[in-house]
Chain A
Amino acid sequence: MISHYLQRNGIPTTTISLIREHTEITRQPRALWVPFPLGRPLGVADDPDFQRDVLRSALRLLDTATKPVIEDYPHDAPDGGGDGVWSCSIMLPEPEVSDLEAAIRGEVDLLTPWYEEARRRRGRTTVGISGVKPEEIDKVVSFIVAIAEGSGFQQIPVSAEGPNWRHPLPMLVRFAVEDLRAFYQEAVTSQEGTKPPSQHDMHSWIFNRTTLGRAIMAIGHQIADNEDRRLMTMRGLMIPEGFWEGEVSWGELPPGMDRLSFIKSSRAYLAGEEAEAR
């Protein structure tokens, strides 16, 4: 919708579209639909020629279109979307839940050399969404384990004090999970020349092959047991559909509510605004 608002304020726009049905309904001024997975609007990492061709195709509409248009990009991503071609070449122990903290710290220790190699080679890391520095990843482990073991969603566990956490609770839990996932994912994609995992490959590995996945599921159970049903929105944002024990990750919606109205009703609470207002 932003394309409409920008044009109404005098800025011409062209848009890359990932979901064709959305673009057909919203009728943005100029759109290039690309047949790539969500999260990959330029197609594929580390392929400047391919990315440049996508970019050029989207920009060219500024020169050629004379009325609202949806053009289809003719090429699939070079990796074909990538489903099923990846397997993790770093051997981790079997996931276990008897001592979550020790098991996750063991995984982090095994992954650290690979993470550091990826960080050195790429010159960057995406760890830090929650506010932690990459060097403070041990505090993220403490935080996630404490939440998984029932410390609640109202205050920072004592064991996780120290970092400059930059999101309020409860949503901080979701970002801490993402930070630890980023650490794991950057580590296991560090090897050059290997096929990158698809989104589904990555979810499958995290939730089926790592103790981190077991901890995220334990947080999902803590949410299910919590009196405040609004936390279910956060579970739906943390555990992908298809990975929550055969049921819908978002859980059963309150009577009379659809998912969007449920998200809206829980937004201020999850963003910490209700707690701040008190």
Chain B
Amino acid sequence: MVRLDDLHPEEAAGMRAAVSRFGYIDQEATPWITPPPLSESTICLVTSAALHRRDDVPFRFGDSGYRLIPDDIDPNDLVQSQVSVNFDRTHYQRDMNVVLPIDRLHELRYAGEIGGVSALHFSVQGASPDASTFEAAAADMANRMKELGVDAALLVPV
């Protein structure tokens, strides 16, 4: 796991079709950026698990916006408006960190391996039929990250 050949053939076909449309991205247009040393860098998380706080506006199907997750969130305040049925939820239901590793980030900060942890993390709804719809949200997220003093982002899919 996980190669597409490991999945149900229909599920794999859907994912191949989705990725075949990624060709429009001009990868040469993405600059290479070297962050500060990791031990001095403040890190934020970007999850595509459609996690959000219970009283936040839920993600709708195909929602291309983002939600903010406070670093000190009570794990009981997290719910997940992800629509796909084709991924494991039981590990997340047991332990938030298998999807959103906030506690692990703090352990690395305490050990001096990273410089800091962002006061806010970011959540989007993956499994979108059109990834280009995230372009505006990502630009806005980047601005918020700069305001928060974030040096680099770790993207975590489900």
Contact = CB atoms under 8 A, between A and B. Distances in A.
Interface of A: 1-22, 25-29, 35-46, 48, 51-52, 55-56, 58-60, 62-63, 66-68, 81, 122-126, 128-129, 131, 166-168, 171, 174-175, 181-182, 185-186, 189, 196-199, 202, 237-242, 248-250, 258-260, 263-264, 267-268, 270-273
Contact of B154 (A14, A125, A202): A14
A48 B10 contact: no
B81 A129 contact: yes
B142 to A, nearest CB: 3
Given A51-B104, A52-B108, A240-B11, 10 more contacts: A11-B150, A11-B153, A13-B152, A22-B19, A38-B87, A59-B43, A62-B38, A122-B75, A199-B89, A259-B13
Interface string B62-104: 1100000000001110111101111111111111111101011
Contact of A11 (B8, B86, B134, B152): B152
B114 A59 contact: yes
Interface size class of B (residues with CB under 8 A): 35 or more
Nearest to A51: B104
Nearest to B10: A241
B91 A55 contact: no
A182 B74 CA distance: 19
**Pairs A-B, 7 closest by C-beta atoms:** A5-B138, A39-B87, A9-B142, A39-B88, A45-B95, A124-B76, A38-B87
